[in-house]
A and B are shown apart, each in its own frame.
Chain A
Amino acid sequence: MAKGYDRSRSASSPGHAAPTAQELRDAIDSGLTGDKVAFPDPAASPLGTDDEAAGTSDSPPRVATAFRQEVRTHAASAVRIRPLSPNIQIYRPQLTSVLSIANRITGMLLSVGAVVLVVWLIAGASGPHAYAAVRGAVASWIGQIMLFGFTFAFFLHLCGGIRHLVWDTVHGFELRSIYIGGWVVVAASVLLTVTAWIGSLFVGG
């Protein structure tokens, strides 16, 4: 938008009932929201970008909520309240953001899996009884459910990590590529998880 944003009109709330996502972006870009926070995850696209590209813009009430959250002014002192970027509470989950946080969650889960790996090795070094105890725990139904979860978390983190490595080569940043890559990660993770378990049933017995 070429013309500057009218600050006086929307210091505490949008001057009119239904601001558009474009108006909110302009407010953020013009510094009205106090600051712009550097946010290095390429998977997180700016407000509304994905929705507009998909032809499903955010509803006016949702944008109005986002506007109130972003462009807040302290009632008594007229000091702008710094926004909390990226404001995940008010944005509808989408493939990009869900995969971004999933990469973190699976990473934390796999940290637990790494501890289990060490326990398994120590049990093996300790002797047959300790090894049998760990094997028994893993073979139990709750152990198998956890192992299945670890398998999926592993493949999702692996595929998501490879996607990040591709981004590191400065490729695949177009919105279309990001969505294709995202769905490839999801499909590959499901496929690899199922293949691994079917494979273990057939090969390992």
Chain B
Amino acid sequence: MDRHVTRSALARAIGLGSAKSGFEHWWAERVSAIALVPLTLWFAAVLIAHTSGDYAAFIAWLRNPLAAILMILLLIALFHHTALGLQVVIEDYVHTGIKLVVIVAVRLGCFALATAGIVATLGIAFSGWAGAP
């Protein structure tokens, strides 16, 4: 606790926010946001173009390697951003002991959902490769 007193004001300020952390979270939120701008716009454009697409058209679309790659990138960025954003909301509004439990649950849930989405995407993408003409 003496460290707080003996160190200079500058030494205390460099690299440390008021909470000694937070920059990493802030930065990750920004990086994922920047990634999501083109990825979500691509996905919105695909949805608009495939509104009437049936099952065969949907499968054919995800068998395209570029579509599968972009979908997986979207899932990673989306759930990373979701976990970070929801954590801030929880930290701001939940002040009881359940806070940590909820944050961990959200983080694990986002990991699980992203993994499930990626596996589903890969399943569809690879289903065409083995026997592709």
Contacts and interface: CB of A to CB of B under 8 A. Distances in A.
Contact of B55 (A108, A128, A154, A205): A128
Nearest to A126: B120
Interface string B45-65: 001111111010011001000
A121 B40 contact: no
Main secondary structure of the interface of B (DSSP, over half): helix
B25 to A, nearest CB: 12
B33 interface: yes
A118 B89 contact: no
Interface in B22-71: 30, 33-34, 36-37, 40-41, 44, 47-53, 55, 58-59, 62, 71
Contacts of A108: 86, 89
Contact of A111 (B58, B62, B75, B82): B82
* Interface-centre pick from A38, A124, A151, A154 (highest chain B CB count, 10 A): A124
B123 interface: yes
Nearest to B93: A104
A182 B48 CA distance: 27
Contacts of A107: 82, 85-86, 89
Given A124-B62, A125-B120, A158-B40, 18 more contacts: A38-B18, A104-B89, A114-B78, A114-B79, A114-B113, A118-B120, A121-B71, A121-B116, A121-B117, A125-B123, A125-B124, A131-B58, A151-B44, A154-B40, A161-B33, A165-B33, A199-B48, A205-B51
Contacts of B123: 125
Contacts of B85: 107, 111
A174 interface: no
Nearest to A147: B47
Interface residues of A, number: 32
A203 interface: yes
Nearest to B123: A125
A113 to B, nearest CB: 9
15 contacts: A104-B89, A117-B75, A118-B113, A121-B117, A124-B55, A124-B120, A125-B121, A125-B123, A161-B33, A161-B37, A162-B37, A200-B51, A203-B48, A204-B48, A204-B49
Main secondary structure of the interface of A (DSSP, over half): helix
Contacts of B119: 125
Contacts of A121: 71, 116-117, 120-121, 124
A38 B116 CA distance: 39
Nearest to B74: A117
A38 B50 CA distance: 47
Ranked nearest first, the 3 interchain pairs of A and B with the lowest CB-CB distance are A204-B51, A125-B120, A121-B120
A200 B50 CA distance: 8
Contacts of B62: 124
Interface in A138-162: 151, 154, 158, 161-162
Contacts of A180: none
Contacts of B52: 204-205
A121 B78 CA distance: 14
